[in-house]
Structure 1
């Protein structure tokens, strides 16, 4: 008796899937008219978000961040460098964003993903302009030695909101970062000390113990889609491909605007729409702060 109903349900499901593939925009607009998305989220709600600190044991700081299916792995490696003459008492931060072929069907082996350099530049601009990291804190010996922080972010699954997830993983990795202990060798050069060498070194360490960076004005972001009169927060890759007008808002932990990024698109970003996006982002920042604090607490307990 259950077979006819099952057959009918299957037929309906096939028809819906076919309609979605043939007329994706109409499919989405039908949902938007009812203030719901195909994944059952309200228009202004972001996907489930998780952060795991210490994902890479060999790194000085690392984190795995997930927003929905979008997954980013961030790792920081610290190296001693000679600072430039223009900024003798400052260190440096170098950021690279990688999109290997495993992250998305549209990324082909042997060809760099088009989005990678764009996201990498956005990350560098945001992290350095936000004031989250004081480069002076990376100085070891003025004019002679400073830290170079190499931040590499790998996209493991690209399902929309790449910048938001990458920034979250970067912030989490810097929250987890421990500055290594270093000392002067016989030649007067700065060298890293392993954990075994820390207590055995005859020379006075330049920094006596591992320490955390002081992070200020931590930036968080939210990407929204503008489509007609609708605003969709935290879009999936499918939504981004169908409705092409994106706006990314970056706010710091004090809800101050750090940057606004709109890479073209057919919809004009009116002041009212931007204000609505900022309001949604403020709520999202509170969520992300709580998630990050919980991840740090879990790490401290472990």
Structure 2
């Protein structure tokens, strides 16, 4: 037990040997190591308990996609891309397009993902992302309609986890939203056989009769933003890393939209959370939403300035 209660002595001795002993203690007694930090209201990566990592967003990361974004959240990295394909709309919604979401976790993203074995978290995150993007009202699927009852767009949204260091859903949602802000719907025309196909370049505009006269952006409604919190005893840790997630069994993910309305709340593991804890998580999510909205807005404005200068 002495090893569990006296890790600071090695650190105080300084030097490489002291650092090695602290790292060994961190690996052997991860919960005790974390709780010593929480007792001082700080985390192993020096963040405050309620402090989330600041994301970086790069739009247009994939040149051949209709919309794409690369997002980093600390060491977590996500690449989202959207490809549009013409399809026949379903009979129950003849004037709407469709959305298909798939979240990918290749073996390079984490040592926990083994080659040849699909990651268990991937289909869960895929379903959660699709539910949030539709239920939030961000997308108006009618805008993806080309010819009512005959042709509409199917938006394939693929999110690739390049590095998994915690809060995967949060990073995936940010990258998805950013990709949709970058999305540009291409020009399309109808052939003599009734087939709808995409048209590129000014030459194509003159040669074919267009269904849509110009490339356009989607009109996005209330945009969803999320924050995952790890819950340990009386501590709420915003935006946990993979190390914190591996130690703490209980987490709560709160999704709010750009009007601060609650879209969804999901709790995993542990006992029933108190109402004060739930309210704290919602409050942190709303604060996080405001910061993320500012970052996304700045990124879009910077992209528009670059496009104007190119013209």
CA distance in 2: counterparts of 1:97 and 1:197, whole angstroms: 37
Asked whether the equivalents of residues 103 and 125 of structure 2 are also in contact (C-alpha less than 8 Å), the reply is yes
2:293 matched to 1:289?
A: yes
2:125 matched to 1:105?
A: no
Task: Give CA-to-partner distance per residue, 1:228-275, whole Å, 9 cap, x none.
Answer: 000000000000000110100000001100000112x22421111000
Q: CA RMSD in A?
A: 1.4
Report the number of matched residues: 296
Tell me the CA shift for residue 297 of structure 1: 1.2
2:79 matched to 1:69?
A: no
Tell me the CA shift for residue 123 of structure 1: 0.4
Task: Give CA-to-partner distance per residue, 1:46-96, whole Å, 9 cap, x none.
Answer: 112100000000000000011101000000000110001110000000000
Task: Give CA-to-partner distance per residue, 1:103-161, whole Å, 9 cap, x none.
Answer: 00110110000110111111011111111001111111110011100000000000000
CA distance in 2: counterparts of 1:281 and 1:89, whole angstroms: 35
- Runs of 5+ unmatched residues, structure 2: 1-10, 307-311
Identify which of 274, 279, 287 aligns with 1:270.
274
| 1:21 alignment partner in structure 2 | 27
Change (3 A) 1:272 1:8: closer
Identify which of 177, 188, 192 aligns with 2:194.
188
Identify which of 196, 214, 232 aligns with 1:209.
214
| 1:239 alignment partner in structure 2 | 244
Tell me the CA shift for residue 14 of structure 1: 1.5
Tell me the CA shift for residue 7 of structure 1: 7.9
Query: Equivalent residue of 1:262, what SS?
Result: strand
Q: Tell me whether 45-54 or 188-197 shows the greater mean CA deviation.
A: 188-197
Tell me the TM-score normalized by structure 2. 0.93
CA distance in 2: counterparts of 1:245 and 1:183, whole angstroms: 52
Change (3 A) 1:85 1:105: same
Tell me the CA shift for residue 202 of structure 1: 3.8
CA distance in 1: counterparts of 2:124 and 2:199, whole angstroms: 37
CA distance in 2: counterparts of 1:273 and 1:31, whole angstroms: 20
